[in-house]
Chains A and B, each alone.
Chain A
Amino acid sequence: MLEIRNLEAGYGPINVLWDVSLSIAEGRVTTIIGPNGAGKTTLLRAIVGLLQPRKGEILFRDRPIHGMAPWHLLEAGIAMIPEGRMIFRDMTVEDNLILGAFPKARRAGVARNLERAYTLFPRLRERRRQLAGTLSGGEGQMLAMARGLMSEPQLLLIDEPSLGLAPVIVNELFEIIADLKAEGRTIVLVEQNTHKAVGVADEVYLMLSGKVAWSAPARDVDLAVLHDLYFSR
């Protein structure tokens, strides 16, 4: 579904991604793990067009999409759920969700999708009139997830949902990701929490220092081996 070939990208003089290639199959959960600074988030930002790659190509359903603006990509069916701090803090929870359905083709379904979001995340329904900035970290992350689903994306990119959250909330979030997987969605999940991420994944990629260092089907992954790679033991 998504094919990335020899991607190189970075910020200003700093190159973060060096020659990254990977492919994402439809209906599967692909997880990208790796330590901090490995370039995982940068990869997602390059896919959705927030960052223009310097080299390489990105194909979505065999169509090149590198260089496209993020707002066109959403219409093409790719949505990114950024980390929870990227919600509209001075707008209400409901306004945040409604904005998730901004692309013209999605506006008709906004009421139905809103209802679905509230069913999936009952706590957001309680706080629908509250400003998003007043939410706790976990609720903010849930809002970001619910908002990302509002556009009914074909490909969902989720960026570090567990970042800075307590284990109980992380568990809750991963249950929801498992539910989404059960619905047959195509998901790319970027995570530091290898344990959780590998548990929910079909495919695992390990990134180290801006490169794909290793990849395997999730069932073949031995966490101990992975941790050795992580800590260079």
Chain B
Amino acid sequence: MIELVLQALYSGFLQGGSYALIAFGLALVFGTLKIINLAHGELVLLSAYIAYTVESRMDVNPVFAIPFALVLVCLCSVLVYYLLSFIRKDRELNSLILTYGIAIVLTNALLMIWSADVRATTSPWLQEALVFGPLASMRSELIFFLVSLILMGALWWWLARSWYGRAVRAVASNREAAKLMGIDPRLTEILSFVVAGILASFAGVALFSYGVIHPPLGEALTLKAFTITVLAGLGSIPGVMLGSILLGLAEALTVTFASSALQDLVGMILLLIVLFVLPNGLFGVTGGRG
């Protein structure tokens, strides 16, 4: 029993790593534009399908898909930004509808290109079990957990130390004041979409290398990322990490003790609870949705 719990916690913990990548992309865009990108999960899924193609067509390890994914996903991400920039009136809602529309387009494009079949990696190397005492995981889970830690570290450094990282935070903090500092907010907006695209690329390849993918998955991914974002308040890296691990743990425990089919239910219910009960998330100071 205890072993089962430990194992569940371990898997959930590792899963939290890639959730953090997805969630932080969403949070970054929300921070600079105050817009929820409902197509974010589909961008992640696009990267996952690129990994699938690289594996099945070129017969190499899916991690080699990362460069292709980076280019394509970042392009799509910037395209989303470009379309969003046309919206003038009633930005909050119209941008939500717009990104919802883009999400539908992407989901169906994935469906048309890769069909509705469920895909998973066939690489034995990635799927090999690594066992530490009572805890077991696939090699891919560990690799991508580390990748995620490194990326989050790099992101932290960028946001805390670089000129443009600081500019992104400044725009998120106070847009008017940022303009007075000589920062063109549009630049930080594009940057946040690019960074979101980079994170989504890695997250997508991770998703494919230890899980199963199919076209309708995108919406659930977006909602999970949104759950983590509201859980974390907005935009703090430790908050997002913790929120991601929390969601990972909750899902893993559900899978262990209830059913794998109910995994997604946990995220949704968590989202509603957070929206209704915690007006500012667990760590948040800003915002207010009521």
Contacts and interface: CB of A to CB of B under 8 A. Distances in A.
B173 A89 contact: yes
A48 interface: yes
A151 B173 contact: no
Interface stretch (A73-81, A119-127, A204-212): A73-81
A102 B167 CA distance: 8
A70 B180 CA distance: 6
A91 B182 contact: no
A56 interface: no
Interface string B169-182: 11001101111111
Interface string A97-113: 01110110001000000
Contacts of A74: 180-182
B180 A80 contact: yes
Contacts of B163: 102, 107
Contacts of B166: 91, 95, 98-99, 102
Interface in B197-244: none
B179 A70 contact: yes
Nearest to A74: B182
A87 B169 CA distance: 12
B285 interface: yes
B177 A102 contact: no
A229 interface: no
B92 interface: no
A71 B179 contact: yes
- Pick the most buried of B166, B176, B180, B285: most chain A CB atoms within 10 A of its CB: B180
Given A99-B166, A102-B163, A88 B180 contact: no
Of the four ranges (under 10, 10 to 19, 20 to 34, 35 or more), the interface on chain B belongs to 10 to 19
B182 A103 contact: yes
Interface in B173-195: 173-174, 176-184
B115 interface: no
Interface residues of A, number: 27
A172 interface: no
B180 A91 contact: no
A202 B82 CA distance: 49
A115 to B, nearest CB: 19
B183 A89 contact: no
Contacts of A99: 166-167, 170, 178, 181, 183
B183 A102 contact: yes
A82 interface: yes
Contacts of A50: 176, 179-180
Nearest to B174: A88
A86 interface: yes
B242 to A, nearest CB: 17
Interface of A: 48-50, 69-71, 74-75, 79-80, 82, 86-91, 95, 98-100, 102-103, 107, 133, 147, 151
Q: Which 8 A-B pairs have the closest CB atoms?
A: A74-B182, A103-B182, A88-B173, A70-B179, A86-B177, A102-B182, A71-B184, A71-B182
16 contacts: A50-B179, A50-B180, A69-B184, A70-B179, A74-B181, A74-B182, A87-B174, A87-B177, A88-B173, A90-B286, A91-B166, A91-B170, A98-B166, A99-B183, A102-B167, A107-B163
